[in-house]
A and B are shown apart, each in its own frame.
Chain A
Amino acid sequence: MQKARAKDYTIFIIMLILSIIFLSPIFIVLMNSFKGKFFISDTPFDLPTSTTSAGLKNYTGGIAKTDFLSAFGMSVFITVASVAVIVLLTAMTAWYITRVKSKFTSLLYYMFVFSMIVPFQMVMFTMTKTANTLNIDNPIGIILIYLGFGAGLSVFLFSGFVKSIPLEVEEAVMIDGCGPIQAFFKVVFPILKPIAITVAILNVMWVWNDYLLPKLVIGTEWQTIPLAIQYLKGGYGSIDMGAMMAMLVLAIVPIVVFYLLCQKYIIEGVVAGAVKG
């Protein structure tokens, strides 16, 4: 017993030290976000002192310079809207192509799976041009593009789950006089809830952090958080390190809060997504 307890403590202490090392980059950024911009490059590992401290100036200056609040709003809008649309529509599509068996639906399924391995650079230029031509290069249109480009993984995950639902459940509901719409929303979609959470989480992590797609499609007029941060960098040498540090902190806070709130689902979602993907 005692030996087991000693082993437990040793592992605990090793892990504690590793965790501190692991978290230190975030702490260093936080520390520097309160320093004057001229002190950051020279002494990044020192705590702010009375001479190096800048108070909240980096935050107020950075928010003004990058128009951070509207970037934050844009990020929230695009992420929430895209993920809601993706979860609802790909669940419906996955159910349709799993339940209606034909050459067309199985071709569709393979196309969705295929799209998962295609790197973004392959369609980068042509997708941007298509979005321009169709006038969907705006914050509403980008939701459609996220749906299209994200459909592969989501349809794949939902289809795997639908296959495991016994057909009898839906047949019973439909014999009772429900149409497919009622059957889907009242019976199938609630059963899909666990996988819907996984799909939502994987997509939130992707859309919230995505840089290139919003940059190319809407970036000239509207900015999300990753774009606002990249924009701060500006020309060579002109970078305001203080504002940069503050904006990095502000970019990290929302996603960490989101993580701490739905940690359990995120970790389960990652495991489920990995096993199926």
Chain B
Amino acid sequence: MQKSIKKYFALFALPTILAFLIAFIIPFILGIYLSFTEFTTVNDAKWIGLKNYVRAFSNQEFLDALWFTVKFTIVSVITINVFAFLLGLLLTRGKKGTNLFRTIFFMPNLIGGIVLGYIWQLIINGVLIKFDLTLTSSATYGFWGLVVLMNWQLIGYMMIIYIAGIQNVPKDLMEAAQIDGANRFRILRSVTLPMVMPSITICLFLSLSNSFKLFDQNLALTAGAPAKETSMLALDIYNTFYGRTGWEGVGQAKAVVFFVLVALIALVQLVITRRKEVEN
């Protein structure tokens, strides 16, 4: 069978491979190469070694963006997952209207990042105007604005995954714990939480990588204002590429650093997940 399928390589695999080459493989390799060069149009690239990386790391805006992204990611990953898990618990307990509530909480996830950003810009500015302030008066407002926005967007998504996890906990395990005299909190800690560990891992990973790579919402809500203080990594890289001539190489070096960070997060997550699987 293998042989007869193999003959049809050009039909089955080639189109996807070509598109993958054009959209990913070539740009990826070219991107790594260009991060070691000085260029404005790709064709005029001159090798300059690690200079771009040195410039990236001595660029205060980049370091600020990195720190802002890390802070934001930590806060939103915690809040999203706590709220999503609690909602998931409540929705697996009650019976009335479960489907309706699930539908409602998931809805913001379908709305695009640009639209989400402008929705929250209106609301937050509407509150702040009562105090003669705006979203861009201080970076603090932008920070918490992004946290609220991200919670609104992702809680429903994570909740769906938690609900699936909680529903998979065997009923007799719960009953056995109840008969043994465990109270509700004890059951949650010793039965439910360990059993939904796979969901927790997935949700942590998804909320982590989504928060870390945030772009559209950041652009629409504050666009980095005031004075780039609320720029996250993705936005900072974008502005380096398209807002500063002569800095294209530095932008590419920043992008490589960004990629390495995301890859590290994914790798650490994978190692932890594997370890959990072995234990089970």
Contact = CB atoms under 8 A, between A and B. Distances in A.
Q: Do A and B come from one complex?
A: yes
A41 B118 contact: no
A130 B12 contact: no
Interface stretch (B19-27, B71-79, B137-145, B189-197): B19-27
A73 interface: no
A92 B90 contact: no
Interface band, chain A = 35 or more
Interface of A: 7-9, 11-12, 14-16, 18-19, 22-23, 25-26, 28-29, 32, 40-42, 44-45, 89-90, 92-93, 95-97, 99-101, 108, 111-112, 115, 117-127, 129-131, 134, 136, 144-149, 151-152, 155, 167, 170-171, 174, 179-181, 184, 205, 208-212, 225-226, 229-230, 241, 244-245, 248, 251-252, 255-256, 258-260, 263, 266-267, 270-271, 274-275, 277
A126 B24 CA distance: 9
Contacts of B22: 130-131, 134, 136, 144-145, 148
B80 to A, nearest CB: 14
B216 A226 contact: yes
B66 interface: no
A8 B94 contact: yes
Nearest to B2: A100
16 contacts: A7-B94, A11-B94, A22-B152, A29-B119, A92-B16, A96-B5, A96-B9, A119-B259, A211-B216, A212-B238, A251-B111, A252-B115, A256-B110, A270-B106, A274-B202, A275-B202
A277 to B, nearest CB: 8
Interface stretch (B46-54, B55-63, B169-177, B250-258): B250-258
Contacts of B206: 274, 277
Interface of B: prevailing SS: helix
Contacts of B266: 117
Interface residues of B, number: 92
B4 A95 contact: no
A144 B42 contact: no
Nearest to B205: A277
A260 B109 CA distance: 13
Contacts of A42: 129
Nearest to B109: A205
B229 interface: no
Given A29-B119, A209-B112, A92 B94 contact: no
A267 B263 contact: no
B248 interface: yes
B15 A89 contact: yes
